[in-house]
Amino acid sequence: MRSYLAHYPRTVPARMGAERAARFIRAAAEQNFGGRLIDIGCGAKWKADLVGDLVDEYVGLDHAGSMHDVSQVDLLGSADAIPAPDASFDCALCTSVLEHLEEPRAALAECWRVLKPGGTAIYTVPMYWHLHEQPRDFYRYTPFGLRYLFEKVGFERVEVTPMAGFWVTYASELGYYWLSATPRVMRPLVSVCTFVANVVTPLIDGIECKIHRRSHEWAWMQLVVARKPRAREQ
């Protein structure tokens, strides 16, 4: 995981968010990944450092106009037009991409198409997050909306897990706000305050989760694990 996190900006909110997301993704991938993987919206294929050891082949897809480095991309295409035959992959990974797609249902249907029967898809999708990668930032998703979209295209066993509670979401957004709105001369102090907030709030979040189950109501990000039915189940 350390090599994966090394790719991220060194700002505290970015590193803390990436580390938290990486733990959720890795845990889900360990239970569901194997065989041939397609990473939809792979950028520079950093996630190969996170889950690449769990699969036999790691295939990265991204579009030619991406604002990210696509020099390592294996397939040039889009989430709703993947240049691969039906049932080409055993598993799929798509992180923080669905909010940037004009037609999310079409993209999910395409993922379903290229998965083998019984294959599993893992997505991370924001519910509370500031605007980013403008103007290609279109949606935020509730767990109910995610289940509807995934099930509508044919996925089953759709599990949606909140990746944080209120305090982590609050601290993450506060950190980004402080860093964007604070004069440069005060950045060192702000970085210290942000670090403290992002260290303390996960502890509070963990305690709160033990007392009350972590709620979707304040989740910064949702983790989706969905399965394509086996052939006899379709």
State the angle between helix axes of 187-211 and 12-32 in degrees (0 to 180), rounded to the nearest 10.
Answer: 40
Percent of the chain with pLDDT over 70: 82
pLDDT band at 225 (very low <50, low <70, confident <90, very high): very high
State the pTM of this model.
Answer: 0.88
Q: pLDDT tens digits, residue range 162-193?
A: 988 888 888 888 878 877 777 776 667 666 77
Of the ranges 12-21, 67-76, 191-200, 217-226, the best mean pLDDT one: 217-226
Examine the pLDDT at 212 and tell me if it is beyond 70.
no
pLDDT at 213: 62
**Domains present along the chain, CATH in parentheses:** 2-165+215-233 (3.40.50.150)
Query: Average pLDDT of 140-165?
Result: 95
Q: Give the highest mean pLDDT range of 13-27, 136-150, 186-200.
A: 136-150
Please tell me the predicted confidence (pLDDT) of residue 232: 67
